[in-house]
């Protein structure tokens, strides 16, 4: 285990503790900002140029953001590298909660990286094989915290270019239990003024929340959907995944 000391700019100032994250802003939220919304959004969403003490913005724009938003990223407090090159990280949030994410390079010769990110602190689904489920649900992550995970991982571990990033929502939590914030984060990460990660390289995994699956199908931009199946009969799946007792395999098949 590698424990990282927080940089001075990573820990939120006390007066910023109640402010929403600036990294959850869409360009339309920045129309009132000094300067061009495109420029402000780009500086917020480009981790390679990110410096919280400056954000490479003029003073007026920095003061406008600081008055209403928090610009601290989730802090990587632990790193657990594995022999295959993947690194599991623990990130600290402003309220003291912690979440996990995984940084997975394809190989040493290929710059592509898959980032496995969380959508909730804990999880309400209660799957018997999942350690997160034993925590129960503590809270949803905001869109800014979801985006902040990605920016913090990239800034600390790479890659150097956004086209080399694949995102999978397979960390802590049931993403479709937090669909509003997850989809807002996808809109931000997909936006051409920011990282511009194609939805062809974004996958949301679900245990089988049928109403949310059906709702997701009508949203744009729409990511890929992965299903955590784990059994091929209702009897077996219901034993390990309580969600199947509400929406069984036939109802799930109809939704997909």
Residue 195 in contact with residue 46, Cβ under 8 Å? yes
Closest CA to 140 of 161, 169, 109: 169
pLDDT of 11: 34
User: For the purposes of burial, counting CB atoms within 10 Å of the CB of 253, is it exposed (0-12), middle (13-18) or buried (19 or more)?
Assistant: exposed
- Which H or E run contains 133? helix 131-135
Contacts of 53 (CB under 8 A, 6+ apart): 9
Radius of gyration of the chain (CA): 19
SS3 74: coil
Q: Tell me the whole-structure pTM to 2 decimals.
A: 0.90
Predicted confidence pLDDT, tens digits, the chain (256 residues):
443 333 322 333 333 458 899 999 999 999 888 778 998 899 899 876 655 555 667 788 888 888 889 988 999 999 999 998 899 999 999 999 999 999 999 876 777 899 999 999 999 999 999 999 889 999 999 999 999 999 999 988 887 677 789 999 999 999 999 999 999 999 999 999 999 999 999 999 999 999 999 999 999 999 999 999 999 999 999 999 999 999 999 999 999 9
Contacts of 106 (CB under 8 A, 6+ apart): 112, 113, 114
Contacts of 41 (CB under 8 A, 6+ apart): 25, 26, 27, 30, 191, 193, 194
pLDDT of 12: 37
SS3 206: strand
Residue 20 in contact with residue 147, Cβ under 8 Å? no
pLDDT of 59: 82
Query: Which of 90-93's residues contact partners 24+ apart within 8 Å by CB, and which partners?
Result: 91/149, 91/152, 92/6, 93/121, 93/141, 93/145
Strands 120-122 and 110-116: unpaired
Residue 226 in contact with residue 203, Cβ under 8 Å? yes
pLDDT of 15: 37
CA distance 14 to 31: 27
CA distance 159 to 213: 31
Q: Domains of the chain, with CATH numbers?
A: 2-68 (no CATH), 75-255 (3.20.20.70)
CA distance 239 to 127: 9
pLDDT of 17: 53
pLDDT of 71: 87
Strands 137-140 and 120-122: antiparallel
Q: What CA–CA distances, in Å, run from 103 to 40, 49, 84, 113, 164? A: 27, 20, 11, 7, 12
CA distance 178 to 212: 9
């Amino acid at each position: 285990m590698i424990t990282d000391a927080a940089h001075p700019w990573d820990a939120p100032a006390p007066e910023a503790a109640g402010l929403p994250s600036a990294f959850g802003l869409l360009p339309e939220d920045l129309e009132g900002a000094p300067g061009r919304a495109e420029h402000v959004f780009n500086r917020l969403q480009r981790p390679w140029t990110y410096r919280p003490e400056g954000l490479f913005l003029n003073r007026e724009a920095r003061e406008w953001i600081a008055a209403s938003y928090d610009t601290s990223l989730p802090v990587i407090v632990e790193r657990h590298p594995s022999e295959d090159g993947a690194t599991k990280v623990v990130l600290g949030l402003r309220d003291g909660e912690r979440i996990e994410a995984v940084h997975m390079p394809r190989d040493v010769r290929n710059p592509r990286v898959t980032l496995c990110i969380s959508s909730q602190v804990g999880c309400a689904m209660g799957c018997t094989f999942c350690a997160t489920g034993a925590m129960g649900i503590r809270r949803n992550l905001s869109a800014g915290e979801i985006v902040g995970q990605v920016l913090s991982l990239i800034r600390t571990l790479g890659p150097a270019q956004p086209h080399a990033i694949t995102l999978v929502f397979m960390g802590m939590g049931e993403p479709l239990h937090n669909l509003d914030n997850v989809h807002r984060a996808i809109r931000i990460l997909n936006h051409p003024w920011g990282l511009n990660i194609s939805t062809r390289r974004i996958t949301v995994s679900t245990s089988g929340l049928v109403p949310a699956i059906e709702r997701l199908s009508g949203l744009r931009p729409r990511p890929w959907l992965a299903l955590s199946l784990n059994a091929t009969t209702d009897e077996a799946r219901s034993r390990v995944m309580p969600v199947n007792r509400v929406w069984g395999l036939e109802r799930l098949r109809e939704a997909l």
